[in-house]
Structure 1
Amino acid sequence: GKVDGIKISLLDKHKEIAMRRRLPEGVRMYTGDDFNYPELIAGDGIGASENHRQSHALLGIFDAIAPAAAVALGELAAGHIERYHEILQPTVPLARHIFGTPTRFYKTGVVFMAWLNGHQPHFTMVGGQQSARSLQHFVELFRLADAAGLLERPELAAT
C-alpha cells in the first residue's frame, strides 16, 4: 500500500512485460527502457480493461524527443494508438544511438540536441564531456534527429 511503483531499465521488453504483469494491483511500472519505450508505454491494449497494463515513462530520452513525445502521448490518451506509434517510432533509432555504448555518455547526445535546437548557446559540458563521443557519432545523431522531425529549427541546426 505504500509503494507507488518501481523503476527498472532492463532493455528487454519481454522481461519488463513479464515483471509488470506480476506487480500487485495499483503498483506502477516505471520504465527506463530507452530502446523499447513506444510499446512499453502503450501497454497491453487501450482502455480501462482489467488486464490493461502499461509502463509509465521515466526516460532519459524524453528530454531529447520532448516535442514528439508530447504529441504522441496526447494521441495515446485520445485512443489513437496507430498515430501514437507513427509519431514515436521514428524516435527509436535516435534513442538507441544516443544511449549506445558506452551508455554513460548519453548526456552528451541530450546536450547536443538541446544545442542544435537553440535551447542553449553552446555545446560545452562540465569536465569536457562534449568530447566523450566522436564526430561520426554526432553526425549520425544529427541525421537521425532530422529523420525523426526533431530539429525544431533546421536552419539553425544546420548552421
Structure 2
Amino acid sequence: NADREIAMRRRLPPAVRMYTGDDFNYPELIRGDEQGYSHALLGIFDAIAPAAAAALQALDAGDVTRYMAILAPTVPLSRHIFQAPTYYYKTGVVFLAYLNGHQSHFRMVAGLESARSVVHLAELFVLADKAGLLKDPELATERMRRVLAVAGIV
C-alpha cells in the first residue's frame, strides 16, 4: 500500500532510507514529494532494467516529466507480471528475458514456464511492447510465434 509506505517513510529518522518493494506504485514512490522519497529495490526492475535506468537518469537530472513518461508504461506490465498468484512472477520475468534474446529457450526449473497461461504470456508480450521493452521486436515476435505454435495457435 503506497499510503502506508509514505506514512512509514515520514516517521523514519532522516538518516534511515526507505526502500520500496511496491511493484504497483513505484514511479510515484521513487519520485517522492516535498517530504521525501523511497529508494528503489524492486523485483520488476530486472524485467524493466532499460526503462528503469533511463527513468532514474532523467529523475537524477531533474526531469520528472521524462521520468514519469518512461516509467508510466511499465506499470501495467509490472501489475500483469505480479498478478496473483504472485509466486509465478518469475515466469513473466523469464519470458521477457527469452523474448529479448537473453536466453535461447523458454524453460524453467520444475516446468514453471507453464505456470502462466498462453493468454497471460500474450498479454505480457503486448504490454512489454507498449512499454518499449522489446529490444529487437522482430526477434521477440518470432519467439512469441514459437510459443503460440507450441500451444496450438498458429
Q: What TM-score comes out, normalization by structure 2 length?
A: 0.91
Which of 102, 118, 123 is matched with 1:135 structurally?
A: 118
Q: Which has the higher strand share?
A: 1
Over the matched positions of the two proteins, sequence identity in percent amounts to 70
SS at match of 2:72: helix
- Could you give the per-residue CA deviations for residues 8-66 of structure 1, whole angstroms, max 9, x where no partner exists? xxxx1111100100011110001100000000001114xxxxx4x11111101001100
Report whether the alignment pairs 1:85 with 2:68. yes
Where do 5+ consecutive residues of structure 2 fail to align? 143-154
Alpha-carbon separation, structure 2, partners of 1:105 and 1:32: 17
Over the residues paired in the alignment, what is the CA RMSD in angstroms?
Answer: 0.7
Aligned residue for 2:54? 71
Instruction: Give the letter for the 2:73 counterpart.
Output: P
The alignment covers a number of residue pairs equal to 142
Q: Detail structure 1 runs of 4+ shifted over 4 Å in the superposition.
A: none
1: distance between equivalents of 2:53 and 2:12? 27
Q: For residues 100 and 144 of structure 1, what CA distance do their matches in structure 2 show?
A: 14
Give the structure with the larger helix fraction: 2
- Equivalent in the alignment of 1:148: 131
> Are 1:98 and 2:98 matched, yes or no?
no
Equivalents in 1 of 2:129, 2:52: separation in Å?
15
TM-score, scaled relative to structure 1: 0.88
Separation of aligned partners in 2, 1:77 and 1:145: 24
Could you tell me which runs of 5 or more consecutive residues in structure 1 were left unpaired when the two chains were aligned: 1-11, 46-50
- Give the Cα–Cα distance (whole angstroms) in 1 for the partners of residues 15 and 93 of structure 2: 32
